[in-house]
Amino acid sequence: MTSYIIRRLLLVIPTVFFALSFLFALFYVLPGDPATLIAGGADRNPNAIQVEQINEKYGLNDPLPTQFVNYWKATLQWDLGESFQTGRSVNEILGQRAKNSFRLAFWALIIEIVVGLSVGIYSAIRRYSLADKLTTVGTAAMSAIPVFVLGYILQYAFAVYPNKHDWPEWTRLRTSQIGPPGSGDGDWFLFVIPMGEQWRYLILPAVTLAAVSTALTARMMRGSMLEVHRADFMRTARAKGLGERQIVLRHGLRNAMLPVITLLALDFGAMIGAAVLTETVFSWPGLGSTIASSVLDRDLPVLLGLTLVVVLLYSILNLLVDVSYAWFDPRVRLGEGKDK
């Protein structure tokens, strides 16, 4: 087992290396001169001297291999540089955005687990009932709505419309930014629990972000439960005289959970690092949207720095999933046993 874990950990290194190098290379293929962009964009017509200064400052004139090596040298020391756009330290940006993303993802995940799993299990138990059919259509519909459309619909329903028609203050939710003006880390209890007004800003983005994943989790859970239901050992359990509920909970659930766990872990990673659409719709300053805009702005340090963290996160999550599989399933843990 330990050797397995070590091997997987080692695999992370080349993956990260190649992923980031790929982005690095891609950046150089991107049209648009970063220096010009930094100096104020093409329409502000920066003069050549400014552009040259910027090139010097950020080493953009050096040959590609040199830049590549310099980049990795710095990165290995965790010197992620400064944003081309704003000059702020990437570490600082990273810290702030990561916190925001984590908080949002945390609640989205909770919603996904609670709602997704219970809906999935329930519809599997009450197979073919009306509730099951409704959930099937419901989850299919939920996974079909584009995230940003859902976000705007929710915004409209819960914030814009009440606002426009002057509903009482307490019914209205907020639609953008991460908190009332002047809010900071103090607004969060135990790092993730929103205090005071904060939850009004959190609720819509969290639900939006959770929606699609919840639908998929519910579907997968149902499918997994149904598949396990057909397994021979379920028949044995029935022949022993176990009641249906016991059979489902004690025997079925643990086996059915396995594939769902993978999904949940990967979703969590995606929610933290790739929630571009939700973050854009709600102006929630998280990792995803920052990375996306850094591509458009040709802000290489920000792009690479934040992506590095996200890639590392993904890899570690993947590893945790594989390890937990072993914990759940003794066949993996102890190695495939004797055949006959």
Q: Which residue has the tokens 């940006």?
A: 93
Q: How far is the CB of 222 from another protein (least distance, A)?
A: 12
Q: Are 139 and 224 in contact (CB under 8 A)?
A: no
What is the footprint of another protein within residues 150-179 (CB under 8 A)?
152-153, 155-156, 160-161, 163-164
What is the footprint of another protein within residues 11-70 (CB under 8 A)?
11, 14-16, 18-19, 22-23, 26-27, 29-31
Nearer of residues 126 and 238 to another protein, judged by Cβ: 238
Question: How many CB atoms neighbour CB 84 within 10 A?
Answer: 22
Name the residue among 71, 35, 49 with its Cα closest to residue 299: 35
Q: Are 198 and 179 in contact (CB under 8 A)?
A: yes
* Binding residues with another protein: total (CB under 8 A): 75
Q: Which residue has the tokens 């859970």?
A: 221
Q: How far is the CB of 225 from another protein (least distance, A)?
A: 14
Report if residue 196 touches another protein, rule: CB under 8 A.
no
Residues 243-262, one symbol each (x = binds another protein by CB under 8 A, - = not), give: x-------x--xx-------
Nearer of residues 160 and 320 to another protein, judged by Cβ: 160
Which range of residues in 84-92, 105-113, 118-126, 267-275 is near another protein by CB under 8 A?
A: 267-275
Q: Binder to another protein among 125, 206, 260, 277 (CB under 8 A)?
A: 277
Q: How far is the CB of 110 from another protein (least distance, A)?
A: 22
Report if residue 305 touches another protein, rule: CB under 8 A.
no
Name the residue among 18, 23, 10, 86 with its Cα closest to residue 305: 23
Q: How far is the CB of 239 from another protein (least distance, A)?
A: 4
Residues 200-239, one symbol each (x = binds another protein by CB under 8 A, - = not), give: -------------------------------xxx-xxxxx
Q: Binder to another protein among 74, 193, 203, 270 (CB under 8 A)?
A: 270
CA angle 266, 269, 272 (to 5 degrees): 150
Q: How far is the CB of 268 from another protein (least distance, A)?
A: 13
Q: How far is the CB of 177 from another protein (least distance, A)?
A: 16
Which range of residues in 67-75, 95-103, 138-146, 183-191 is near another protein by CB under 8 A?
A: 138-146
* Sequence-separated contacts (24+) of 224-228 with Cβ below 8 Å: 224/120, 224/256, 224/257, 224/258, 224/259, 224/260, 225/120, 225/121, 225/124, 225/125, 225/252, 225/253, 225/256, 226/124, 226/127, 227/256, 228/252, 228/255, 228/256
Q: What is the rounded radius of gyration, in angstroms, for the C-alpha atoms of the chain?
A: 24
Question: How many CB atoms neighbour CB 339 within 10 A?
Answer: 4
Written as one letter, the residue type at 334 is: L
Indicate the angle between helix axes 90-111 and 300-328, nearest 10 degrees. 40
Q: How far is the CB of 184 from another protein (least distance, A)?
A: 27
Report if residue 310 touches another protein, rule: CB under 8 A.
yes
User: H/E element holding 113?
Assistant: none
